[in-house]
Amino acid sequence: MLQEGAHGKWTVSSSDESTEENSDNEKPSTSSLLHAACGRASGPQYPCSEARKAAHKRKASPLKFSDKSFPAETRLAEKQRPSQEGLGWCLSSSDEEPEDQEKQAHKETVKEEKNDAPKEHPLNFHKDNELSENQKAEECCEAPSEAQDTWDLLNGGNPFRFFLTKVRGIKQNYNSGALHIKDILSPLFGTLLSSAQFNYCIDVEWLVRQYPQEFRKKPLLIVHGEKRESKAELLAQARPYENISFCQAKLDIAFGTHHTKMMLLLYEEGLRVVIHTSNLIAEDWHQKTQGIWISPLYPRLPRGPTDSSGESETNFKSDLISYLMAYNSPTLKEWIDKIQEHDLSETRVYLLGSTPGRYQGIDKEKWGHLRLRKLLKEHASSVPAQESWPLVGQFSSIGSMGVDESKWLCSEFQESLVATGSSVTTLLKYGVPIHLVYPTVDNVRQSLEGYPAGGSLPYSIQTAQKQLWLHSYFHKWSAEVSGRSHAMPHIKTYMRPSPDFQKIAWFLVTSANLSKAAWGALEKNGTQLMIRSYELGVLFLPSAFAT
């Protein structure tokens, strides 16, 4: 369904997430493995959302139209879904909305990625020796860059250490300064001893190929949130690799996901942390706009480190350890110890995470949007006439926010984002402008991936119909400066720019979409914060880069 209006046409979708309980057993049953093997014959090899499965099918078997009397895009929209008058939405299938899901819990539940895309390469690449299209792209276009010295790129004139991913199909100059996952895992960055990959959607075989040949048998820990059949599929993927182990993140609150995207890389030379927005699948590193923060190389501390040794002014080390401890997993204790042994004092960003739970008292300010509120109050500088400095949010999925803006978006969430140490109440009274950037149907249609790109932009039609008020905040996706207007965003960013967009009070890159599941929602008269999912991002504040 397409709606003509001042705010464009918008893509939405619908599905449910799994409500299955966590299992402590990491070994899949024989029946589960058989089920997983059968599933790979008809869909992506890795566990993924219904939206990505649908997009994959469309990409594998494109619709063909013989009626030439209508524009192609009009016929495509009609073919894909019958019109539903008065609603104005183009539908696909996937969602992360807990409120809507709870009402439909009796229906078949499926796992949903708030921001995932379809599997593009052929599914049975053990059947023949031909490389898939994406594998060929990896070899010819996505190998570690030889045209530029990646080491100089990382350690040269980029004090923020923030990068975009390389995009195939755009002008070469727009990929200057961008990175592919093979660049990140390159020996140029260090001699790898072991690594940990935290993520949501994981194609194990593809991931292993991204490591240089000499590092492919090094210990690799995969931290995930899969359950039952999806978990069995993931473990089945890893059976050929003896060096791969798993840590299952506990998801005790319904409809939560392990959405964090982080790499921990231990080298002979030290330790590195990478926080990014891409799933560990080929499509997320191919033609999408993604963001990456790469830490400096953290050297090992001399000897006998104390708890406060190697801490940064941004408290990054202790915050990272606190985040890992929230998993309550013995498997991660080894990585906590490794972090403790290294000097993270050169870090200039603040860590901002979400972990599932219900938090009260001082614990409320440890996670989610209340954590952002605390950081901004304590460290963000006041700016003149800041009531005119807008809030800009950009994301790839939208959750349920209530029947009107006062329920969450323009109340507790906005209050956190406008905090600067000055009177928040005053700013809210003035009504700080909010701009929300989300791709339109035309953005998707004209993208490098075409309509299948919509598989990574889920927005439930049930949710959308209940919050039509949100449309007035929407702005279409455009990224002319970086040459990525046609590379659909899977990146999530939030910021506070000046009215003329020449200055910025703060900038956040994160895995968190615009949802209460990711950011948290207050309960019990504001005395408790409830968060469903794991998320992770880094906050850039001018005060940390003063030098």
**Cβ count within 10 A of residue 109:** 17
Say if strands 528-531 and 492-497 run parallel, antiparallel, or are unpaired.
unpaired
Annotated binding-site residues for substrate read 261, 492
- 88 Cβ neighbours under 8 A, 6+ residues apart: 1, 2, 3, 4, 5, 9, 10
Residue 169: CA count within 13 A, CB half-sphere: 17
Asked if 494 contacts 327 with a C-beta cutoff of 8 angstroms, the reply is no
**Cβ count within 10 A of residue 69:** 6
Rounded CA gap, 283 and 147, in Å? 23
Tell me, what amino acid is at 267?
Y
- 448 Cβ neighbours under 8 A, 6+ residues apart: 167, 168, 169, 170, 287, 486, 487, 488
Asked if 541 contacts 506 with a C-beta cutoff of 8 angstroms, the reply is yes
Residue 496: CA count within 13 A, CB half-sphere: 26
Rounded CA gap, 102 and 334, in Å? 37
Give the C-alpha distances (Å, rounded to integers) separating 224 from 94, 235, 373, 509.
20, 11, 28, 21
Q: What are phi and psi of 197, to 5 degrees?
A: -115, 115
Residue 44: CA count within 13 A, CB half-sphere: 31
Strand partners, 539: 350, 508
Rounded CA gap, 105 and 193, in Å? 44
Query: Crossing angle, helix 228-238 and helix 30-39, to 10 degrees?
Result: 80
Burial readout 274-285 (b: 16 or more C-beta within 10 A, e: otherwise): bbbbbbbbbbbb
Q: DSSP 3-state assignment of 172?
A: helix
Q: Which class for 318: exposed (0-12), middle (13-18), buried (19 or more C-beta within 10 A)? A: middle
What are the residue numbers of the active site?
259, 490
Annotated binding-site residues read 261, 492
Strand partners, 292: 163, 276
Query: Crossing angle, helix 316-325 and helix 330-340, to 10 degrees?
Result: 170
Rounded CA gap, 455 and 447, in Å? 13
Kindly state the DSSP code that residue 158 receives in the 8-state scheme: -
**Residue tagged 């075409």 (tokens):** 450
Our measurement of the distance from residue 65's CA atom to the centroid of its chain's CA atoms, rounded to an integer in Å, reads 35
Say if strands 10-13 and 89-92 run parallel, antiparallel, or are unpaired.
parallel
* Secondary-structure breakdown of the chain: helix, strand, coil percentages, each rounded to the nearest 5: 35, 20, 50
Strand partners, 216: none
